[in-house]
Every structure is written in structure tokens, then in C-alpha cells.
Structure 1
Amino acid sequence: MTVLVVTNDFPPRQGGIETFVRSLCDELSDVVVYTSRTSGAAQYDSSLPFPVVRDRTSMLLPTARVTRDVVRVMQRVGADRVVFGAAAPLGLMGSSLRKAGARRIVALTHGHETWWAGTPGARRALRRIGDAADTLTSVSAWCEEQIAPALSPDAAARMRRLTPGVDTSRFFPDCGGEQVRKGLGLEGVPVVACVSRLVARKGQDTLIQAWPRVLAVVPDAVLLLVGGGPDRARLEELALSTGVSHAVRFTGAVPWEDVPPYVDAADVFAMPCRTRRFGLEPEALGIVTLEASAAGKPVVVGDSGGAPDTVRHGETGYLVDPYNPVAAALRITELLTDPARAKAMGEAGRTWVQAEWTWSSSGQILRELLDLR
């Protein structure tokens, strides 16, 4: 029973959805991927244990031509199960693939579908996607609450939670943080790290605004901002104008495979993510928070969208108002000045992730949804 994964989001492109889809493929015994063209794909694809078919375009859309090509591949490889890596918009091909022989269709949602659910024309398209699929999945309770009202009652009743897992063999305590600290000249100083793209939604500016209050309590604390993105120039100006540029370090973009040591370099992980654009741009989940917990770090996370699913408040870390730098500073200084509490929260976080956020459990759910036995 071959599974055809149809996705616009697949490595070597980097991102949360790409990692999610790629990792789920590893949980399927017979899989073929149909995806978009991207630089470096040939070398990457040659290293995979399953075949990848690249479309001629760099952006997959559910056009008549793409639908015909997907049907041809589905029939050529004998696939009768289909997974859409992101439900919107590719799930609009669902009814055509069903007519072509797909017995089970699972469409993954991640977060941008909440925007579809709240926009009239897109909402109707999302309803069609839900009706064509056997199951729409959601990554968090919040996402399900936002998406379900846009679906037909039958489709809403068929929704299932399917969360990303965390590779605890990559993210674990002492997985290279000391080497990163040494390379950055941060040995022996308290470090708070935010590992994320530099975009307004992730809240790095809230951390910079909080930093004068952090330094008042922990004078040698350093804020390590790991990642690249369009907001860097604004954040650098903010650090300068706030008078904390000497205590804020920007690493620039870090390759996906090199991320774990940067997480491990932190004493505290902080990402006060927030909802923007009148609710249309939320944090759907925030897998990096769980990766930080897997590395044994206490976390400070913004209360946005599905982010509360990634922290047990008061046990593995804290939820904070992402628009309140004072609140962020309070929790960060609390953890930096109480190493015993920080260590206990980090240990509790790793135990929780190991028990409840594994790729094997996510794969088992997907196999059940696809009726693979």
C-alpha cells in the first residue's frame, strides 16, 4: 500500500513544515513524494531511502496541469493513499485524486489554514478540502478550534490531532553547547537564546526591550538571537537605541543540522511569540520550544495561538504576555537567578517530550489515519 505525499514544503528547503513532512515520511514503509523544484534537490533526493518526483515549478499549486501530473505519478507507482503536506491549497486536488483511485486522503494543517478559515473566499475552499479528505489534522488544540468551524459538520468530526515529534537523539543536554559558547566567546556567562527566524511574530523585539531589566539583575547576561530573517536590521537598531547592543548577539542563519548545539548553549530558551495581523498570523505550535525542552532547557514562551501546548506553565517553563517586556524580564531573571529551579524545569521538560512528543507516536497516528496495517 504505497503512500503518495504531495507537498510544496520539502527539504532541502528549511522550515517547520518541511521538517514535519520529511520526518513523517520516515514513519511510512512505502512512500513516494511529489514536490516542487528547488536548488540542491538532486543531491538531497539521492540520499533518501524513497523516491522523490520533482515538479517543474518551484511552487506547487492545485492547477489542472499539476493535478494531471500528480494523478499520473499516483497511478504509475500504484499509490492508493495520499497525504497532502499542507491542506491548503493542495488539498483542493483531493476530489480528483479520489476519482483517480485514492482510497484514503489525509490533509495536514499547520497554522496558515487558520487564516483560510477566517477569510470568506478561502473559507469556502477550506470546506471543499475538508470534504474531499478522509481526515484533516491539526497541530494544536487552538488550530483545531479555529479551523473546525469552517468545515462541514462531517469533516469537523473527522479532524484528528497530529503533532510534530522531537528527535531527542539530536536535542539532548550537552549536545554541543559548550563548543558554541567557546566559539562565540560566551564561556561562563548567563545566556538566554531565542532560536528562530528573525520576523516580527517571534517576539525578539520583546526580548530586547526586556533586556535592560534583565541586566539590572544579572549584569553579565547575554541575549543570543540565533537565525536570520528580514527583521534583523530593525532588531539591531532597537538593541542600539535601548542601550543593550553590547549584550545582544546575532548569529545569522544557522543550518538545520547545526541547530541543536545552539539550543544547548542556552541557560534559558525564550521566544515570546505573538499573534499579529488581527489574529490572522498566529503561532500555530512552536516545535523549537519542545526541542529546547528536549535539550533540558527551561522555556519562556509567548501566549499565542497553539504555543501554550508546548509548555507546562510552572513545570517546564512559563507562558508570558508577548507584548509585555516586563513580564518576560521577570520570568527570565527568575530562572537565571535560581539555577536549581531552572534545572528542574529543564529536566521536567525533557521527560515530558520523551514521553509525549515522539515521531514514532506521530507516525502511528498517521498510519492509522491512512488505514495502513
Structure 2
Amino acid sequence: MTKRRKIVLVTGVFPPGVGGMQNYYYNLSVHSKHDMTVIAPEYPGSGEFDRRLPFRITRGAFMREERADPSSWGRLLGQVRRTMRGEEPDVTIYGYVLIGFIGLLFRLFGGRRYVISTHGMDMLMFRRYIGLNAVVKLILRKADGVLTNSQFTKKLVEDYGVDSRRIGIVNPGVERIYDRRPANKDLIRQHGLEGKYMILSVGRLVTRKGHDRVIQAMPAILKQIPHAVYVIVGDGPDRERLELLARKTGVMDVVLFVGSVSGSEQVNDYYNLADQFIMVSRELESGDAEGFGIVYLEAASAGLPVIAGRSGGASEAVQDGVTGLLVDPESLEEIAGSVVRLASDAALRNRLVRDGYKRAKTEFQHEVLAAGFDQYIGRICALPATRTARRRLARESARENVRS
């Protein structure tokens, strides 16, 4: 059994905020067997949410609309210092690479161990900026460990010159709420989906997710599946552009923008209405990329065949021809062809559903993933302490002897 360690997690996103990274850090904190303390941003309703948590949490105003706010990092540094003095953690994990600069400072001037947690896009977005990229490289190379969400993200970290032996992979997990359920007849009536072949996307409306490519492929899909409808669950800055694109493409009457829905249970209702799931994510020149894509496994967990873009970490979330289909996210022909193939080939569809469901329900449950996280943290904490850390521990031991 892995020795129980004391961990402080400093994260820029956390529930009651909504999103994949929020769930990722929440579930690691809940299911880890280590002693967890979390430092997270404030959200509306966070006080009530925190009272139900089985671990310690403190909140601070160091993010603005879930983006790093460097003007408040002085307060965050003080908050981390106070927490370290109170908890004396074995390691501190920083859930945003630039916030990890605080970990670098505590490493240099106190010998404190720190780990950076990365999700893919944060390893790409600073490469265009020479100064920031140099800071990111220093933070990563000086870290005791780097926690990644996929092999794709691990490779990006290795590109910064980080020793692969210090890099761990802990994939996101699937919430148990996502499962097979009878179709919600009220939703069918509400959206006029009776007799329709429903293609579903769930996710934030941003360019990398590929909603635009599916919309552009709809005319070709409709030629083969005249009763097809494309339902988009989620909202975001791309919505106006996507609605305009649907009108220009002439498919506005078969593209349904549901918007954001409240909670995982309602998302699961939409999964259980659909005939297939699609999200053809692509990597953008700006460095925006899908680090993993847990939504594919959520859909599989609800019994859907899935189509993903062959980009970023999606090829790890979806095993091509085994648990889903991968397509060139820029090829409208491949996108339309894969949708039609799933609709027409029952044997293929049933096999993908069976194997995708099994994988989601075994390999990607939070308890399994947290066990891997615990082992990785145990390995990092077992590394020899730095000379500075040894001196600090010796001073603390001497003070305890004087008190006694």
C-alpha cells in the first residue's frame, strides 16, 4: 500500500465551477487516499458546496473568469505560504503552469517539493511568446514531477526537456451518472425529435471542438440520412458564428442549438436520446488543442458510438475501430462518411458500443485513476529531498527538540 502523504493542491478551477478540469481536480481530491488540502478560486455558492467536502479547502480571489490574474498572485503566494506552514505538505501540486512559478520560488528558497499538473493546451499556448515560454520551461524543469492527462500532453512536456521518468499520466474519469437510460419522452417532444436520426455534440462552443465542420458536412449527411438532425448541447463564444454558418450552409432547420443544460443528469438524458456522438476536435495554430476529451468516454458510458477528430489526445480517448472512429477533422468527406457508416452498419455500431462501454466502465472510473495518482505522488515523494529541504527539516527538528 502506498504511504499516505500530505498534499496541497493549488488549482485555478474547481467546483462549483463547471467543466472537465473542475471535475478532474475534484475527483482526484475525493478519491485519493492521500491527505488532501485544496486552495481554489471563489465561485458563487462555493461556501455551501465546501461544507459537504471530505477534505480541507480554502478559497481565494486569484483567478478572474477562470483565467489567471497575476495582479492577485501576491495574495495567492501568501495563502500558499500560510497553508504550507499549517499543513507541512510532502508536496504541493499546481494546477496551472504559470501559478507553478510560486512553486518554483518555494523550491528555490525553501526546498519544497512541487508538481505541475498540465492538460495540453497550457503546454502549447505560451510557445509563441519567447519570455513566457522560457519561464514555463524553467518551471517544468525545476519541478519534482509533472502530472499530465494523456500521452499527447506528456509528449508536449517532454518537448520542454523534462525527464520522462518524472512525468506521470492520470487520465480524466467518467462520472457514474453517465449510463444507459430510457429516452426522455418530454425532451423528444420539446425538441420535435420524433422519428429523427440524432447526431449529438456536447461541449463548449469554441473553434477547436469542430462543430463548424459537422455543420458543413450536414448537406452530405442529409443526402444519405434525410431524417438526420444535429443537436448541439453547450454554449460559448462561437455560438453566433456557428448559427450564421448553419444558415449559410442551408441546414439551420436541422441543427438544434440547445445551449447549456443544468447538471450531468440532464446531459445524460441527451446522450440517451442520440443515435451517435461526434466531436471532431482539431489543433489550431494558436495552440488550442484537445488534451484528452473525456466527453467521448461519457458518451460511450451512455451506450453511444462515437466519432472523434484525429488530433491532440482524442486518439487516446477513442481507440480507432475498437471503441469509436477517428477522422481527419478537416475532411468534410471523412466526417460525413463516418456518420453514414455508423448509421448503416449495425454490426460495427454494436461492436463499438459494446467495447466503448466496457472500457469506460472499467479503465476510466475515478477510483481506478485515483489509485494511479496516489502511486505517482508516492513515487515523487520518495525521491531524495533537496539539500535546501534537508537543512529546513533539520532546523525544524532542532526547534522541536528545544520546545520539548
Q: Is the TM-score greater than 0.5?
A: yes
What are the Cα deviations for residues 284-325 of structure 1, in whole angstroms up to 9, with x where unaligned? 111101111111211111111111111111122211111111
- 2:200 is aligned, of 182, 193, 196, to 193
Q: Counterpart of 1:45?
A: 50
Distance 2:230 2:125 in 1: 35
The residue number in structure 1 matching 2:313 is 306
Q: Is the 8 A contact 2:277 2:307 kept in 1?
A: yes
Separation in structure 2 between the aligned mates of residue 183 and residue 48 of structure 1, nearest angstrom:
36
Q: Which residue of 2 aligns with 1:108?
A: 117
Match of 2:299 in 1: 292
| Corresponding position of 1:32 | 37
TM-score of the superposed pair, with normalisation by structure 2: 0.84
Among 203, 206, 218, the residue aligned to 2:210 = 203
Deviations 1:34-76 (A, max 9, x none): 1112222112222222222111344455734421221101222
Query: C-alpha distance in 2, partners of 1:43/1:100?
Result: 37
After TM superposition, list the pairs within 5 Å mapping 1:204-283 onto structure 2: 204-257=211-264, 258-277=266-285, 280-283=287-290
1:105 deviates by 2.8
Instruction: State the AA in 1 paired with 2:132.
Output: A
- The CA distance in 1 between the partners of 2:126 and 2:161, in whole Å, is 8
Identity across matched positions, percent = 32
CA contact (8 A) 1:335 1:342 kept: yes
Query: What CA distance in whole angstroms lies between the structure 1 residues aligned with 2:119 and 2:257?
Result: 28
For residue 99 of structure 1, report the CA deviation from its aligned partner.
Answer: 6.6
C-alpha distance 20-287 of structure 1, shift in aligned 2 (>3 A): same
Alignment gaps of 5+ in structure 2: 383-404
Look at both structures and tell me which one has the larger radius of gyration over its CA atoms.
2
The CA distance in 2 between the partners of 1:176 and 1:111, in whole Å, is: 35
* 36-45 or 226-235: bigger deviation: 36-45
Secondary structure of 2:268's aligned partner:
helix
After alignment, is 253-262 or 197-206 more displaced?
Answer: 253-262
Alpha-carbon distance, 1:193 to partner: 0.1
Matched residue of 2:195: which SS? coil
Answer yes or no: is the 8 Å Cα contact 1:300–1:317 preserved in 2: yes
Q: Deviations over 1:204-257 (max 9, x none)?
A: 111111111111111111100110111111111211221211111110111342
Q: SS where residue 350 of structure 1 aligns?
A: helix
The TM-score with structure 1 as length reference comes to: 0.91
Q: Which residue of 1 aligns with 2:180?
A: 173
- Change in 2 beyond 3 A, CA 1:56/1:218: closer
8 A contact 1:225–1:249 mirrored in 2: yes
1:94 and 2:103 are equivalent in the alignment:
yes
Conserved? CA contact 1:117–1:150, under 8 Å: no
Q: Distance in 1 between matches of 2:332 and 2:243?
A: 17
Query: Residue type of the partner of 2:324?
Result: G
* CA pair 116-222 structure 1, distance change in 2 beyond 3 A: closer
1:18-167 alignment runs, 5 A limit: 18-29=22-33, 30-59=35-64, 63-86=73-96, 88-98=97-107, 104-115=113-124, 118-119=127-128, 120-152=130-162, 155-167=163-175
Q: Secondary structure at the match of 1:172?
A: coil
**2:154 alignment partner AA:** E
Q: C-alpha separation between the residues in 2 aligned to 1:366 and 1:295?
A: 26
Task: Tell me how far apart the structure 2 counterparts of residues 344 and 181 of structure 1 sit (CA, whole Å).
Answer: 26
2:230 is paired with a residue of what secondary structure?
strand
Q: Tell me which residue corresponds to 1:318.
A: 325
RMSD: 2.3
Contact residue 303 and residue 319 of structure 1 kept, 8 A: yes
Q: Could you list the runs of 5+ residues in structure 1 that have no partner in the other structure?
A: none
Relative to structure 1, the CA distance from residue 179 to residue 136 in structure 2 (aligned partners, 3 Å threshold; closer, same or farther) is farther
Letter in 2 for 1:161: I
Mark the CA change 1:97 to 1:359 in structure 2 (over 3 Å): closer, same or farther: farther
Q: Is the 8 A contact 1:6 1:84 kept in 2?
A: yes
Figure out how many residues of one structure are paired with residues of the other and give that number.
368
Given the superposition, is the C-alpha separation of residues 40 and 100 from structure 1 closer, same or farther in structure 2, using an over 3 Å criterion? Answer: farther
